[in-house]
Amino acid sequence: MLPADTSDCYRHVVGLRAVRWFKPAAIPDEDVTAILEAGRWTGSARNRQAWAFIVMRELEDIARLTRAGRSDGPLSRAALAIALVRLPDGNDFDIGRVAQNMMLAADARGIGSCPVTLHDQQVATEVLELPDEEHVARRAIAFGYPEPEAEAAARSSRRAAGTAGRKALDALVHHGRFGG
């Protein structure tokens, strides 16, 4: 339960949900630009900004990228995918921050998103035509307008399987040491 004086920003952060089912509708350029700007303005260690974004709109390109994952899932249903490339001297923590900012920006515009892991680096490197082994793409984000009925059914199924919802705060927080 949120405090009564919670800001809209905070409500937006705690309300963000991964969306795995999308309508087959294109995302306008201005929304794509806003999502990319949110990524660009993300803070990074020593302000390195050691990332690049590969925007994929063509369904054939997105389908090829799904081969780098372990399932086709949300990426195969996305209208847009953005692969997050960690450049040399970059780190995964900063890539995670970029992903969250992009997902929040998308959500603010009514666009759903889901982070996707690219498990097969060889396939990801080939599909994205990365220049060398120091340019790494382990994450992508699937974007699209949520398909409410399919999304509701999937969430209901996850709840029934016990894989939905959030753990209680006291199950996650330790004070001074693990177990404290």
What is the pLDDT at residue 2? Answer: 64
What is the pLDDT at residue 164? Answer: 75
Phi-psi region of 129 (alpha: psi -120 to 50; beta: other; left: phi over 0): left
Per-residue pLDDT of the chain (180 residues; tens, 9 = 90+): 666 667 888 888 998 999 999 999 999 999 999 999 999 999 999 999 999 999 999 999 999 999 999 887 899 999 999 999 999 999 999 999 999 999 999 999 999 999 999 999 999 999 999 999 999 999 999 999 999 898 888 888 888 888 778 888 999 999 999 987
Residues 6+ apart with CB under 8 A from 127: 61, 64, 65, 67, 68
Domains of the chain, first to last: 20-159 (3.40.109.10)
What is this structure's pTM? 0.91
Q: Catalogue the long-range contacts made by 124-128 (C-beta closer than 8 Å, 24 or more residues apart).
A: 124/65, 124/68, 124/83, 127/61, 127/64, 127/65, 127/67, 127/68, 128/54, 128/65, 128/83, 128/85
What is the pLDDT at residue 160? Answer: 84
What is the pLDDT at residue 1? Answer: 60
